[in-house]
Amino acid sequence: MDTQDDVTDPVPSRRVRVYGHEFDADAYALRDFLSRSVVRFDWIPVDVTDPAVLVAGRRLDVTRLPLVVFPDGTELVAPAVREVADRLGWIHAPRRQEYDLSIYGAGPAGLSAAVYAASEGLDVVLLERDAVGGQAGSSSLIENYLGFPEGVAGAELAERAREQAVRFGAELLVMREGVRGVFHDGRIHADLADGGHVVARANICATGVEWRRLGLPREVDLLGCGVYYGAGTSEADGCVGEQVFVVGGANSAGQAAMNLSRSAAHVTMLVRGPSLSATMSEYLTARIQAAPNVTVRTGSRVSALLGDARLESIEVTDVRGSTSVTAATRLFICIGGQPDTRWAAGTPMVRDRLGYLVTGPDLDGAPGALDRWPLDRRPYYLETNVPGSFAAGDVRAGSVKRVAAAVGEGAMAVTFVHRHLAASD
Ligand SMILES: Cc1cc2nc3c(=O)[nH]c(=O)nc-3n(C[C@H](O)[C@H](O)[C@H](O)COP(=O)(O)OP(=O)(O)OC[C@H]3O[C@@H](n4cnc5c(N)ncnc54)[C@H](O)[C@@H]3O)c2cc1C
Protein backbone atom coordinates (compact mmCIF):
# COMPACT_ATOMS: atom_id res chain seq x y z
CA MET A 1 0.00 0.00 0.00
CA ASP A 2 1.21 3.47 -0.82
CA THR A 3 -0.64 6.54 0.37
CA GLN A 4 -0.07 10.21 -0.23
CA ASP A 5 -2.25 12.05 2.19
CA ASP A 6 -0.96 15.52 1.46
CA VAL A 7 -1.97 15.83 -2.18
CA THR A 8 -4.36 18.75 -2.69
CA ASP A 9 -6.78 18.18 -5.51
CA PRO A 10 -7.53 21.44 -7.36
CA VAL A 11 -10.90 20.02 -8.44
CA PRO A 12 -12.25 18.41 -5.26
CA SER A 13 -14.79 15.69 -5.93
CA ARG A 14 -17.40 14.34 -3.55
CA ARG A 15 -17.05 11.01 -5.26
CA VAL A 16 -14.36 8.38 -5.12
CA ARG A 17 -12.34 8.37 -8.37
CA VAL A 18 -10.64 5.30 -9.78
CA TYR A 19 -7.98 5.72 -12.49
CA GLY A 20 -6.76 2.67 -14.28
CA HIS A 21 -6.32 0.72 -17.43
CA GLU A 22 -9.62 -0.46 -18.89
CA PHE A 23 -8.55 -4.09 -19.15
CA ASP A 24 -6.68 -4.43 -15.87
CA ALA A 25 -7.89 -7.11 -13.48
CA ASP A 26 -7.05 -5.10 -10.33
CA ALA A 27 -8.95 -2.06 -11.60
CA TYR A 28 -11.91 -4.29 -12.42
CA ALA A 29 -11.90 -5.81 -8.91
CA LEU A 30 -12.08 -2.30 -7.42
CA ARG A 31 -14.88 -1.18 -9.77
CA ASP A 32 -16.85 -4.32 -9.13
CA PHE A 33 -16.54 -3.96 -5.35
CA LEU A 34 -17.46 -0.27 -5.32
CA SER A 35 -20.38 -0.71 -7.65
CA ARG A 36 -21.78 -3.64 -5.63
CA SER A 37 -21.28 -1.64 -2.45
CA VAL A 38 -23.26 1.28 -3.93
CA VAL A 39 -20.35 3.67 -3.49
CA ARG A 40 -20.70 6.61 -5.86
CA PHE A 41 -17.50 6.66 -7.88
CA ASP A 42 -16.09 7.88 -11.16
CA TRP A 43 -14.17 5.44 -13.28
CA ILE A 44 -11.55 7.12 -15.41
CA PRO A 45 -9.98 4.70 -17.90
CA VAL A 46 -6.44 5.83 -18.57
CA ASP A 47 -4.64 5.59 -21.87
CA VAL A 48 -1.29 4.37 -20.57
CA THR A 49 0.45 5.67 -23.68
CA ASP A 50 -0.73 9.23 -23.00
CA PRO A 51 1.77 11.08 -20.80
CA ALA A 52 -0.53 14.08 -20.40
CA VAL A 53 -3.07 12.67 -17.92
CA LEU A 54 -3.12 14.94 -14.87
CA VAL A 55 -4.35 14.06 -11.38
CA ALA A 56 -4.39 16.76 -8.72
CA GLY A 57 -2.42 18.99 -11.07
CA ARG A 58 0.44 16.58 -11.57
CA ARG A 59 1.18 14.02 -14.20
CA LEU A 60 -0.31 10.59 -13.52
CA ASP A 61 2.31 7.88 -13.05
CA VAL A 62 0.90 5.25 -15.41
CA THR A 63 3.25 2.63 -14.03
CA ARG A 64 1.49 2.82 -10.66
CA LEU A 65 -2.14 2.02 -11.39
CA PRO A 66 -4.92 1.68 -10.44
CA LEU A 67 -5.04 4.89 -8.44
CA VAL A 68 -7.95 5.57 -6.08
CA VAL A 69 -8.59 9.18 -5.03
CA PHE A 70 -10.99 9.71 -2.12
CA PRO A 71 -13.27 12.73 -1.63
CA ASP A 72 -10.92 14.09 1.07
CA GLY A 73 -8.08 14.15 -1.48
CA THR A 74 -6.16 11.18 -0.07
CA GLU A 75 -5.03 8.49 -2.46
CA LEU A 76 -4.21 4.81 -2.57
CA VAL A 77 -1.88 3.50 -5.25
CA ALA A 78 -2.55 -0.01 -6.56
CA PRO A 79 -4.55 -0.95 -3.45
CA ALA A 80 -6.16 -4.26 -2.65
CA VAL A 81 -9.95 -4.14 -2.36
CA ARG A 82 -9.60 -4.61 1.38
CA GLU A 83 -7.46 -1.47 1.67
CA VAL A 84 -10.12 0.56 -0.08
CA ALA A 85 -12.79 -0.88 2.22
CA ASP A 86 -10.56 -0.01 5.16
CA ARG A 87 -10.11 3.57 3.94
CA LEU A 88 -13.89 3.87 3.61
CA GLY A 89 -14.08 2.95 7.30
CA TRP A 90 -15.68 -0.43 6.81
CA ILE A 91 -13.15 -2.75 8.43
CA HIS A 92 -13.62 -3.34 12.15
CA ALA A 93 -12.58 -5.99 14.62
CA PRO A 94 -15.48 -7.93 16.22
CA ARG A 95 -16.80 -5.86 19.12
CA ARG A 96 -17.90 -8.69 21.39
CA GLN A 97 -16.22 -11.75 22.85
CA GLU A 98 -19.36 -13.77 22.20
CA TYR A 99 -22.57 -13.24 20.22
CA ASP A 100 -26.02 -14.82 20.42
CA LEU A 101 -25.90 -15.37 16.69
CA SER A 102 -23.27 -15.25 13.98
CA ILE A 103 -24.40 -15.14 10.35
CA TYR A 104 -22.02 -15.96 7.50
CA GLY A 105 -22.80 -14.32 4.16
CA ALA A 106 -24.48 -10.93 3.59
CA GLY A 107 -26.61 -11.83 0.58
CA PRO A 108 -30.41 -11.59 0.81
CA ALA A 109 -30.66 -14.53 3.27
CA GLY A 110 -27.97 -13.25 5.64
CA LEU A 111 -29.17 -9.65 5.50
CA SER A 112 -32.73 -10.71 6.21
CA ALA A 113 -31.61 -12.87 9.15
CA ALA A 114 -29.57 -9.94 10.50
CA VAL A 115 -32.54 -7.54 10.26
CA TYR A 116 -34.90 -9.90 12.07
CA ALA A 117 -32.37 -11.08 14.67
CA ALA A 118 -31.22 -7.57 15.56
CA SER A 119 -34.75 -6.18 15.60
CA GLU A 120 -35.75 -8.97 17.97
CA GLY A 121 -33.01 -8.15 20.43
CA LEU A 122 -30.30 -10.71 19.67
CA ASP A 123 -26.61 -9.77 19.74
CA VAL A 124 -25.84 -10.56 16.14
CA VAL A 125 -22.80 -10.33 13.94
CA LEU A 126 -23.00 -10.61 10.14
CA LEU A 127 -19.79 -11.59 8.38
CA GLU A 128 -19.26 -11.09 4.66
CA ARG A 129 -16.13 -12.09 2.80
CA ASP A 130 -16.65 -9.59 0.00
CA ALA A 131 -19.24 -6.88 -0.76
CA VAL A 132 -22.70 -6.86 0.80
CA GLY A 133 -25.48 -8.16 -1.47
CA GLY A 134 -24.25 -11.54 -2.67
CA GLN A 135 -25.51 -12.63 -6.06
CA ALA A 136 -28.45 -10.28 -5.80
CA GLY A 137 -25.98 -7.40 -5.53
CA SER A 138 -24.70 -8.27 -8.98
CA SER A 139 -28.16 -8.18 -10.54
CA SER A 140 -28.81 -5.07 -12.64
CA LEU A 141 -32.58 -5.18 -12.10
CA ILE A 142 -34.62 -7.55 -9.96
CA GLU A 143 -38.13 -7.32 -11.31
CA ASN A 144 -39.94 -10.08 -9.47
CA TYR A 145 -39.27 -9.10 -5.86
CA LEU A 146 -42.41 -8.18 -3.98
CA GLY A 147 -43.13 -4.48 -3.63
CA PHE A 148 -40.97 -3.15 -6.48
CA PRO A 149 -43.26 -2.95 -9.52
CA GLU A 150 -40.60 -1.11 -11.54
CA GLY A 151 -37.87 -3.49 -10.36
CA VAL A 152 -34.94 -2.64 -8.14
CA ALA A 153 -31.20 -2.81 -8.75
CA GLY A 154 -29.81 -5.64 -6.61
CA ALA A 155 -27.10 -3.46 -5.13
CA GLU A 156 -29.66 -0.88 -4.06
CA LEU A 157 -31.87 -3.52 -2.44
CA ALA A 158 -28.84 -4.85 -0.58
CA GLU A 159 -27.75 -1.40 0.54
CA ARG A 160 -31.21 -0.70 1.95
CA ALA A 161 -31.15 -4.01 3.81
CA ARG A 162 -27.64 -3.31 5.13
CA GLU A 163 -28.76 0.05 6.47
CA GLN A 164 -31.82 -1.54 8.07
CA ALA A 165 -29.78 -4.28 9.75
CA VAL A 166 -27.20 -1.82 11.08
CA ARG A 167 -29.93 0.54 12.27
CA PHE A 168 -31.41 -2.29 14.35
CA GLY A 169 -27.98 -2.90 15.89
CA ALA A 170 -26.54 -5.76 13.85
CA GLU A 171 -22.75 -5.67 13.67
CA LEU A 172 -21.53 -5.99 10.10
CA LEU A 173 -18.00 -7.16 9.32
CA VAL A 174 -17.15 -7.00 5.62
CA MET A 175 -14.10 -8.51 3.95
CA ARG A 176 -14.23 -11.27 6.56
CA GLU A 177 -14.37 -14.84 5.36
CA GLY A 178 -15.27 -17.71 7.65
CA VAL A 179 -12.85 -20.52 6.86
CA ARG A 180 -13.25 -23.01 9.69
CA GLY A 181 -15.88 -23.81 12.29
CA VAL A 182 -15.63 -25.94 15.41
CA PHE A 183 -18.68 -26.80 17.50
CA HIS A 184 -18.15 -27.34 21.20
CA ASP A 185 -19.55 -26.18 24.58
CA GLY A 186 -22.83 -25.39 22.75
CA ARG A 187 -21.14 -22.71 20.65
CA ILE A 188 -19.66 -22.27 17.20
CA HIS A 189 -16.06 -21.11 17.24
CA ALA A 190 -15.19 -19.81 13.80
CA ASP A 191 -11.82 -18.87 12.39
CA LEU A 192 -11.68 -16.09 9.84
CA ALA A 193 -9.33 -15.88 6.88
CA ASP A 194 -7.65 -12.78 8.33
CA GLY A 195 -6.80 -14.58 11.57
CA GLY A 196 -9.83 -13.31 13.51
CA HIS A 197 -12.06 -15.48 15.64
CA VAL A 198 -15.80 -15.27 16.33
CA VAL A 199 -17.77 -17.19 18.98
CA ALA A 200 -21.56 -17.45 18.97
CA ARG A 201 -24.29 -19.54 20.61
CA ALA A 202 -26.01 -20.14 17.30
CA ASN A 203 -25.14 -19.54 13.68
CA ILE A 204 -26.75 -19.27 10.28
CA CYS A 205 -24.80 -20.22 7.21
CA ALA A 206 -26.08 -18.04 4.36
CA THR A 207 -23.07 -18.29 2.09
CA GLY A 208 -25.07 -18.84 -1.10
CA VAL A 209 -23.33 -20.01 -4.23
CA GLU A 210 -20.52 -18.68 -6.31
CA TRP A 211 -20.25 -18.40 -10.06
CA ARG A 212 -19.60 -21.62 -11.90
CA ARG A 213 -16.61 -21.33 -14.20
CA LEU A 214 -16.24 -22.56 -17.76
CA GLY A 215 -13.12 -24.44 -16.71
CA LEU A 216 -11.12 -23.27 -19.74
CA PRO A 217 -7.40 -22.50 -19.89
CA ARG A 218 -6.70 -18.72 -19.55
CA GLU A 219 -10.07 -18.13 -17.83
CA VAL A 220 -8.46 -17.05 -14.56
CA ASP A 221 -5.78 -14.93 -16.31
CA LEU A 222 -8.37 -13.04 -18.35
CA LEU A 223 -10.76 -12.42 -15.45
CA GLY A 224 -11.39 -8.65 -15.39
CA CYS A 225 -9.52 -8.30 -18.69
CA GLY A 226 -12.50 -9.01 -20.94
CA VAL A 227 -13.85 -12.04 -19.04
CA TYR A 228 -16.39 -11.40 -16.28
CA TYR A 229 -18.70 -13.48 -14.11
CA GLY A 230 -22.26 -12.28 -13.83
CA ALA A 231 -24.22 -9.41 -15.23
CA GLY A 232 -21.28 -7.03 -15.28
CA THR A 233 -23.19 -4.19 -13.65
CA SER A 234 -20.00 -2.14 -13.36
CA GLU A 235 -19.04 -2.86 -16.99
CA ALA A 236 -22.18 -2.01 -18.94
CA ASP A 237 -21.22 1.63 -19.49
CA GLY A 238 -17.86 0.62 -20.91
CA CYS A 239 -19.43 -1.50 -23.66
CA VAL A 240 -20.67 1.36 -25.81
CA GLY A 241 -20.61 0.36 -29.47
CA GLU A 242 -19.06 -3.08 -28.74
CA GLN A 243 -20.13 -6.58 -29.76
CA VAL A 244 -20.32 -8.49 -26.47
CA PHE A 245 -21.10 -12.09 -25.55
CA VAL A 246 -23.04 -13.63 -22.67
CA VAL A 247 -22.69 -17.32 -21.84
CA GLY A 248 -25.79 -18.98 -20.36
CA GLY A 249 -29.49 -19.33 -20.97
CA ALA A 250 -31.16 -18.83 -17.58
CA ASN A 251 -32.35 -15.76 -15.66
CA SER A 252 -28.97 -14.28 -14.72
CA ALA A 253 -27.75 -14.55 -18.34
CA GLY A 254 -30.99 -13.00 -19.60
CA GLN A 255 -30.66 -10.08 -17.20
CA ALA A 256 -27.04 -9.58 -18.20
CA ALA A 257 -27.95 -9.56 -21.90
CA MET A 258 -30.73 -7.01 -21.42
CA ASN A 259 -28.56 -4.81 -19.24
CA LEU A 260 -25.66 -4.86 -21.70
CA SER A 261 -27.95 -4.29 -24.69
CA ARG A 262 -28.55 -0.74 -23.43
CA SER A 263 -25.00 0.25 -24.31
CA ALA A 264 -23.41 -2.45 -26.48
CA ALA A 265 -23.93 -2.40 -30.24
CA HIS A 266 -24.84 -6.07 -30.13
CA VAL A 267 -25.16 -8.83 -27.54
CA THR A 268 -24.89 -12.49 -28.48
CA MET A 269 -26.13 -15.05 -25.96
CA LEU A 270 -24.31 -18.36 -26.28
CA VAL A 271 -26.63 -21.08 -25.01
CA ARG A 272 -25.49 -24.67 -24.74
CA GLY A 273 -28.96 -26.23 -24.98
CA PRO A 274 -31.48 -26.09 -27.83
CA SER A 275 -33.28 -23.01 -26.40
CA LEU A 276 -33.25 -20.51 -23.56
CA SER A 277 -33.64 -22.31 -20.23
CA ALA A 278 -37.12 -23.34 -19.16
CA THR A 279 -36.28 -21.74 -15.82
CA MET A 280 -35.94 -18.27 -17.39
CA SER A 281 -38.82 -16.00 -16.34
CA GLU A 282 -41.30 -15.46 -19.14
CA TYR A 283 -41.02 -11.67 -19.05
CA LEU A 284 -37.27 -11.93 -19.69
CA THR A 285 -37.65 -14.42 -22.55
CA ALA A 286 -40.15 -12.09 -24.21
CA ARG A 287 -37.84 -9.09 -23.82
CA ILE A 288 -34.85 -10.92 -25.23
CA GLN A 289 -36.85 -12.05 -28.22
CA ALA A 290 -38.06 -8.48 -28.83
CA ALA A 291 -34.64 -6.81 -28.41
CA PRO A 292 -33.30 -5.81 -31.85
CA ASN A 293 -29.64 -6.01 -30.78
CA VAL A 294 -29.72 -9.34 -28.88
CA THR A 295 -29.15 -12.63 -30.70
CA VAL A 296 -29.54 -16.05 -29.08
CA ARG A 297 -27.15 -18.67 -30.47
CA THR A 298 -28.29 -22.06 -29.21
CA GLY A 299 -26.34 -25.33 -29.27
CA SER A 300 -23.15 -23.32 -28.77
CA ARG A 301 -20.46 -23.59 -26.15
CA VAL A 302 -17.34 -21.53 -25.65
CA SER A 303 -14.41 -23.90 -26.05
CA ALA A 304 -11.43 -21.52 -25.89
CA LEU A 305 -10.57 -18.00 -24.73
CA LEU A 306 -7.93 -16.30 -26.83
CA GLY A 307 -5.83 -13.23 -26.13
CA ASP A 308 -2.66 -12.28 -24.30
CA ALA A 309 -3.12 -9.31 -21.99
CA ARG A 310 -6.86 -9.15 -22.65
CA LEU A 311 -9.60 -11.16 -24.34
CA GLU A 312 -9.40 -10.80 -28.11
CA SER A 313 -11.51 -13.65 -29.44
CA ILE A 314 -13.42 -16.76 -28.45
CA GLU A 315 -13.69 -20.18 -30.00
CA VAL A 316 -17.25 -21.51 -30.12
CA THR A 317 -18.10 -25.18 -30.72
CA ASP A 318 -21.55 -26.15 -31.99
CA VAL A 319 -23.50 -29.36 -31.39
CA ARG A 320 -21.96 -31.03 -34.44
CA GLY A 321 -18.48 -30.33 -33.08
CA SER A 322 -17.59 -27.62 -35.62
CA THR A 323 -15.59 -24.75 -34.22
CA SER A 324 -15.41 -21.10 -35.23
CA VAL A 325 -13.32 -18.23 -33.87
CA THR A 326 -15.06 -14.88 -33.35
CA ALA A 327 -13.55 -11.55 -32.32
CA ALA A 328 -14.72 -10.67 -28.79
CA THR A 329 -13.63 -7.98 -26.36
CA ARG A 330 -15.97 -8.91 -23.51
CA LEU A 331 -17.52 -12.16 -22.40
CA PHE A 332 -19.92 -12.37 -19.45
CA ILE A 333 -20.23 -15.85 -17.93
CA CYS A 334 -23.60 -16.53 -16.26
CA ILE A 335 -23.89 -20.30 -16.04
CA GLY A 336 -25.23 -20.68 -12.52
CA GLY A 337 -23.49 -21.33 -9.28
CA GLN A 338 -22.16 -23.89 -6.89
CA PRO A 339 -21.82 -23.70 -3.11
CA ASP A 340 -18.41 -23.25 -1.55
CA THR A 341 -18.82 -25.28 1.62
CA ARG A 342 -15.34 -26.76 1.75
CA TRP A 343 -15.00 -25.43 5.30
CA ALA A 344 -17.75 -27.87 6.38
CA ALA A 345 -15.53 -30.85 5.53
CA GLY A 346 -13.94 -30.61 8.99
CA THR A 347 -17.31 -30.56 10.78
CA PRO A 348 -20.03 -33.19 11.27
CA MET A 349 -22.35 -31.20 8.95
CA VAL A 350 -23.98 -33.20 6.21
CA ARG A 351 -23.76 -31.91 2.63
CA ASP A 352 -25.31 -33.37 -0.47
CA ARG A 353 -23.17 -34.56 -3.38
CA LEU A 354 -23.01 -31.03 -4.82
CA GLY A 355 -21.94 -29.48 -1.52
CA TYR A 356 -25.29 -27.97 -0.43
CA LEU A 357 -26.03 -28.14 3.31
CA VAL A 358 -28.74 -30.62 4.22
CA THR A 359 -31.29 -29.46 6.82
CA GLY A 360 -34.45 -30.44 8.69
CA PRO A 361 -36.56 -33.31 7.34
CA ASP A 362 -34.10 -33.89 4.46
CA LEU A 363 -31.62 -35.22 7.05
CA ASP A 364 -33.84 -38.29 7.42
CA GLY A 365 -32.89 -39.28 3.89
CA ALA A 366 -29.13 -38.94 4.53
CA PRO A 367 -27.77 -42.22 5.94
CA GLY A 368 -26.15 -41.78 9.37
CA ALA A 369 -26.79 -38.01 9.45
CA LEU A 370 -28.58 -38.10 12.79
CA ASP A 371 -26.59 -40.88 14.46
CA ARG A 372 -24.87 -38.37 16.74
CA TRP A 373 -27.81 -35.97 17.09
CA PRO A 374 -27.85 -35.36 20.88
CA LEU A 375 -31.31 -33.84 21.52
CA ASP A 376 -34.78 -35.30 22.10
CA ARG A 377 -36.34 -33.07 19.48
CA ARG A 378 -35.83 -33.47 15.73
CA PRO A 379 -33.78 -30.83 13.84
CA TYR A 380 -35.84 -27.77 12.97
CA TYR A 381 -36.72 -27.22 9.32
CA LEU A 382 -33.63 -25.08 8.53
CA GLU A 383 -31.31 -26.70 11.08
CA THR A 384 -28.35 -28.80 10.04
CA ASN A 385 -27.42 -31.98 11.92
CA VAL A 386 -25.46 -29.79 14.37
CA PRO A 387 -27.85 -28.30 16.98
CA GLY A 388 -28.03 -24.51 16.74
CA SER A 389 -26.38 -24.39 13.34
CA PHE A 390 -28.76 -23.36 10.56
CA ALA A 391 -28.59 -22.86 6.80
CA ALA A 392 -30.67 -20.40 4.79
CA GLY A 393 -30.92 -19.39 1.16
CA ASP A 394 -29.12 -20.78 -1.87
CA VAL A 395 -26.53 -22.74 0.15
CA ARG A 396 -29.26 -24.98 1.56
CA ALA A 397 -30.03 -28.22 -0.25
CA GLY A 398 -33.41 -28.02 -1.96
CA SER A 399 -33.84 -24.26 -1.53
CA VAL A 400 -35.60 -22.20 -4.18
CA LYS A 401 -32.97 -20.03 -5.83
CA ARG A 402 -34.77 -16.71 -5.61
CA VAL A 403 -34.29 -13.48 -3.66
CA ALA A 404 -37.68 -13.76 -1.98
CA ALA A 405 -37.04 -17.36 -0.91
CA ALA A 406 -33.63 -16.41 0.54
CA VAL A 407 -35.15 -13.46 2.42
CA GLY A 408 -37.91 -15.70 3.75
CA GLU A 409 -35.51 -18.40 4.89
CA GLY A 410 -33.28 -15.84 6.62
CA ALA A 411 -36.26 -14.59 8.62
CA MET A 412 -37.53 -18.09 9.36
CA ALA A 413 -34.13 -19.29 10.54
CA VAL A 414 -34.13 -16.57 13.21
CA THR A 415 -37.36 -17.98 14.65
CA PHE A 416 -35.63 -21.34 15.08
CA VAL A 417 -32.57 -19.62 16.56
CA HIS A 418 -34.81 -18.14 19.30
CA ARG A 419 -36.21 -21.58 20.10
CA HIS A 420 -32.75 -23.11 20.22
CA LEU A 421 -31.38 -20.35 22.48
CA ALA A 422 -34.39 -20.50 24.79
CA ALA A 423 -33.95 -24.25 25.25
CA SER A 424 -30.22 -23.98 25.88
CA ASP A 425 -30.45 -21.12 28.44
C1 LIG B 1 -27.10 -11.94 -11.97
C2 LIG B 1 -28.18 -12.55 -11.12
C3 LIG B 1 -29.49 -12.13 -11.25
C4 LIG B 1 -30.49 -12.64 -10.44
N5 LIG B 1 -31.75 -12.17 -10.58
C6 LIG B 1 -32.73 -12.62 -9.78
C7 LIG B 1 -34.05 -12.07 -9.89
O8 LIG B 1 -34.33 -11.22 -10.73
N9 LIG B 1 -34.98 -12.54 -9.03
C10 LIG B 1 -34.73 -13.48 -8.09
O11 LIG B 1 -35.61 -13.82 -7.31
N12 LIG B 1 -33.50 -14.03 -7.97
C13 LIG B 1 -32.49 -13.62 -8.80
N14 LIG B 1 -31.23 -14.16 -8.71
C15 LIG B 1 -30.98 -15.20 -7.69
C16 LIG B 1 -30.79 -14.55 -6.31
O17 LIG B 1 -29.90 -13.46 -6.42
C18 LIG B 1 -30.25 -15.57 -5.32
O19 LIG B 1 -31.18 -16.63 -5.21
C20 LIG B 1 -30.03 -14.93 -3.94
O21 LIG B 1 -29.08 -13.89 -4.02
C22 LIG B 1 -29.54 -15.97 -2.93
O23 LIG B 1 -29.30 -15.31 -1.73
P24 LIG B 1 -28.34 -15.93 -0.61
O25 LIG B 1 -28.29 -14.90 0.48
O26 LIG B 1 -28.80 -17.28 -0.25
O27 LIG B 1 -26.92 -16.12 -1.28
P28 LIG B 1 -25.97 -15.14 -2.08
O29 LIG B 1 -26.72 -14.07 -2.73
O30 LIG B 1 -25.14 -16.04 -2.93
O31 LIG B 1 -25.04 -14.47 -0.96
C32 LIG B 1 -24.10 -15.23 -0.25
C33 LIG B 1 -23.06 -14.30 0.35
O34 LIG B 1 -22.20 -15.07 1.19
C35 LIG B 1 -20.87 -14.61 1.05
N36 LIG B 1 -19.97 -15.70 1.49
C37 LIG B 1 -19.72 -16.87 0.84
N38 LIG B 1 -18.87 -17.62 1.58
C39 LIG B 1 -18.58 -16.91 2.70
C40 LIG B 1 -17.75 -17.17 3.84
N41 LIG B 1 -17.10 -18.31 3.98
N42 LIG B 1 -17.69 -16.21 4.79
C43 LIG B 1 -18.39 -15.03 4.69
N44 LIG B 1 -19.17 -14.75 3.61
C45 LIG B 1 -19.28 -15.67 2.65
C46 LIG B 1 -20.75 -14.28 -0.44
O47 LIG B 1 -19.69 -13.40 -0.71
C48 LIG B 1 -22.14 -13.66 -0.68
O49 LIG B 1 -22.12 -12.25 -0.48
C50 LIG B 1 -30.20 -13.66 -9.49
C51 LIG B 1 -28.90 -14.13 -9.37
C52 LIG B 1 -27.89 -13.58 -10.17
C53 LIG B 1 -26.50 -14.10 -10.01
Q: What is the pLDDT of residue 1?
A: 32
Q: What is the pLDDT of residue 319?
A: 94
| pLDDT tens string 13-41 | 679 999 999 899 999 999 999 999 999 89
Q: What is the pLDDT of residue 60?
A: 81
For the residues 345-356, what does the mean pLDDT come to?
A: 94
393 lines ligand 1 (CB under 6 A): yes
Confidence of residue 138 (pLDDT cuts 50, 70, 90): confident
Ligand 1 centroid – CA 384 distance (Å): 20
Q: What is the pLDDT of residue 208?
A: 97
Q: What is the pLDDT of residue 55?
A: 73
| pLDDT tens string 364-414 | 999 999 999 999 999 999 999 999 999 999 999 999 999 999 999 999 999
- Taking CA atoms only, the protein residue closest to ligand 1 atom 27 is 208
Q: What is the pLDDT of residue 220?
A: 94
Percent of the chain with pLDDT over 90: 84
| pLDDT tens string 199-239 | 999 999 999 999 999 999 999 999 999 999 987 778 888 89
Mutate to test the pocket of ligand 1, among 139, 349, 395 (most ligand atoms within 8 A of CB): 139
Residues contacting residue 37 through CB under 8 Å, at least 6 positions apart? 85, 131, 132, 133, 155, 159
Ligand 1 centroid – CA 209 distance (Å): 6
Ligand 1 centroid – CA 341 distance (Å): 14
252 lines ligand 1 (CB under 6 A): yes
Dihedral over Cα of 131, 22, 248, 289: its sign: positive
Amino acid at 11: V
399 lines ligand 1 (CB under 6 A): no
Ligand 1 centroid – CA 410 distance (Å): 12
Closest CA to 207 of 336, 97, 94, 111: 111
Q: What is the pLDDT of residue 2?
A: 32
Ligand 1 centroid – CA 186 distance (Å): 29
Q: What is the pLDDT of residue 9?
A: 42
For the residues 303-328, what does the mean pLDDT come to?
A: 96
Averaged confidence pLDDT in the chain: 92
Q: What is the pLDDT of residue 157?
A: 97
- Taking CA atoms only, the protein residue closest to ligand 1 atom 8 is 142
Ligand 1 centroid – CA 2 distance (Å): 33
Task: Please report the atom of ligand 1 found closest to the CA of residue 337.
Answer: 53
262 within 8 A of 293, measured Cβ to Cβ: no
123 within 8 A of 198, measured Cβ to Cβ: no
Residues contacting residue 224 through CB under 8 Å, at least 6 positions apart? 23, 24, 25, 26, 27, 28, 29, 32
